[in-house]
Amino acid sequence: MTLRSAAPDSFDALPNPRGGAVRSAELALAEALLAFEQHSESTSALLRASHALREAGWLSAQRFADALVRLSPLADEGDSTHLTHPTHQVSPVETNSARPAFGVALRDFRAALERHNLHELSCSPTLFNHYRVLCTHLSEHTPGSTVAFEDLALCARPVPPVSLHAQSADQLAHLRARYERALLPVLRSQPDNSGAALAFTNAALDELDAVLTELTGPDPYDFWRLAKACAKALRVSGRATGEADARRFYARCNLALADHARGIERAPRSLVRATLALLWRDYALFGAAAEDADQVEVLHDYGLTVDWHVAGTQASEMLWEAGAVQAQAISATRSTLMRELGVLTVNAHAYEDFLQTADASISALTEHARAADQPEKADPSEALQAGDAAYRLGAAACALGLGHVALVADALGLAWRRRAHAGVSTPAVRSHVVVGAPAASTLEQAAEALRAMLHKVAAGVAPAGSSAALAALTRAIEQGGA
């Protein structure tokens, strides 16, 4: 069972006292908030925040800031000159309707940014709800725009193709009938169900879980394996009933089952992304325990990592959070304990720890990449080890606030995972596998790009995003191989 935040009404995850801070973005948001409260122009300050977040590689936060930038002319009373469509005249009613939502979103975003937790900035339901409201106001002036949770959670991350493995028509028809019978009570359930109603809903959820288990095939990138993991995560977190995202997930799985019965071989990319983001959400925010190992393994197959937590109580978690805030305040007042990496300010001790972790990981990745160019020595276990090394580097970079490094490292970990699965030699699995192995040259080039980024970090220079390496990895992952 995963832990939950001690203050769920205000924040979604614990602060990261050793995480890097984008001070220029924090100051710009403070300036924007002051301007907003004084009914003056806030757009220029928000633009500075967006640019700083992009430079740091905090891409989900940048996307949120960009929504604030676009809406700010509507929220800044008396200023409607920066609209996307200059010919549109904003009425006072329109301006006033956007203003309260903008103000609340800006305040919460500023508070979240100061907690230095990149996972929270990507997966926070609180921030996403604000983001959705902001985009709703924007959609009145830019029709056709849509917004989804995965837009923030999986921003810039590659997602591999996912299969719907062949099964007999009779079997699929039988399973779909069972699924639809169990689906209706789940869709009608309420968060406050109790007694007989709760037992009835739980029985329906048990049946849905059983159907997903029977649908799951041997492919590592089988959609029903992903859906089964997501369903289990929703139940563990207590979100399987009464939540709109959960109802949408179960309903979309029914549509995917209909596609499967028609012989479609690939799951819709939008469904895969939505399911993956939903699976990752609570584990990214609150960490995972030993009993969550199966779901974490699925996340690793899709390039996502989580922190592991030890057992604790709500009281101990509150004490930890209070200590984290105190440690953060102390470090902020002691400039000798800080290092500057471009726009990113990092804790000096955390910086040194990261360099040690990164050095070992990048050496292992380079050796694995060179060995991968020898097909006669291909070993799935070696590829898994390389993937784990990349994930360790990505997790450490994320904790320090090095967003660009974390993104490339996680993508490289995913590429190695796919190479490991493509090399599986078990006959029962091999006949179904549709995984394409990324080319050894792509893996080596990405490892070298990471090494170059880490050399800059070690020299005290902020690493820019390695767009070429990330693009090559993305092509290899999303197009199924070399």
- pLDDT the model gives residue 336: 53
Per the model's pLDDT, the better-predicted residue between 256 and 197 turns out to be: 256
- pLDDT the model gives residue 89: 42
Segment 203-210 mean pLDDT? 96
Report the mean per-residue pLDDT for the chain. 85
- Structure confidence by residue, pLDDT tens digits, 347-360: 999 999 999 989 88
H or E segment and range at residue 260: helix 244-261
| For residue 1, pLDDT beyond 50 | no
Is 115 exposed, middle or buried, given 0-12, 13-18 or 19+ CB atoms closer than 10 A? buried
Domain ranges of the chain: 21-147, 169-301, 334-478
| Structural tokens at position 199 | 């037992």
- Structure confidence by residue, pLDDT tens digits, 433-447: 456 778 889 999 999
Segment 115-135 mean pLDDT? 95
- pLDDT the model gives residue 97: 79
Segment 243-264 mean pLDDT? 95
Q: How confident is the model at residue 308 (pLDDT cuts 50, 70, 90)?
A: confident
Per the model's pLDDT, the better-predicted residue between 327 and 288 turns out to be: 288
Q: Is the dihedral of CA 117, 121, 123, 128 positive or negative?
A: positive
| For residue 85, pLDDT beyond 50 | no
pTM listed for this prediction: 0.87
The single residue listed with the structure tokens 């070696």 is 382
H or E segment and range at residue 208: helix 195-215
How many CB atoms within 10 Å of residue 209?
16
| For residue 82, pLDDT beyond 50 | no
Q: How confident is the model at residue 232 (pLDDT cuts 50, 70, 90)?
A: very high
Segment 48-55 mean pLDDT? 97
Name residue 176's amino acid.
R
Q: Is 303 left (phi over 0), alpha (psi -120 to 50) or beta?
A: left
Q: CATH assignment of 334-478?
A: 1.20.120.160
- pLDDT the model gives residue 370: 78
Per the model's pLDDT, the better-predicted residue between 74 and 157 turns out to be: 157
- Structure confidence by residue, pLDDT tens digits, 458-482: 999 988 877 899 999 999 999 865 4
Cα 55 from Cα 461, distance rounded (Å):
12
Are 141 and 71 in contact by the 8 Å Cβ rule? The answer is no
Is 377 exposed, middle or buried, given 0-12, 13-18 or 19+ CB atoms closer than 10 A? exposed
Lowest mean pLDDT among 54-63, 92-101, 239-248, 445-454: 92-101
Segment 386-406 mean pLDDT? 96
Cα 255 from Cα 263, distance rounded (Å):
13
Task: State percent of the chain over pLDDT 90.
Answer: 65
- pLDDT the model gives residue 327: 53
- Structure confidence by residue, pLDDT tens digits, 157-191: 999 999 998 899 999 999 999 999 999 999 988 77
Task: State percent of the chain over pLDDT 70.
Answer: 81
- pLDDT the model gives residue 378: 61
Give the distance from CA 332 to its chain's centroid: 28
